[in-house]
Homo-oligomer: A and B are copies of this chain.
Amino acid sequence: MATGTTPAACIADFCLIPMGIGSPSVTPYIAEVQKLLEQCEGITFTMHSFGTTVEGSWDAVTKAIGRAHESMHENGVPRVHSSIRIGTRTDKPQTAQDKVDSVRKYLAESEGKSESSAK
Contact = CB atoms under 8 A, between A and B. Distances in A.
Contacts of A85: 15, 50-51, 81-84
B90 A73 contact: yes
A6 B70 contact: yes
Interface residues on A, range: 35 or more
Interface string A100-115: 1011001100100000
Q: A-side binding surface: helix, strand, loop or mixed?
A: mixed
Contacts of A19: 17, 19, 24, 26, 89
A31 B91 contact: no
**Pairs of residues from A and B, 8 with the lowest C-beta to C-beta distance, nearest first:** A6-B66, A20-B24, A22-B22, A13-B50, A49-B96, A62-B62, A24-B79, A79-B89
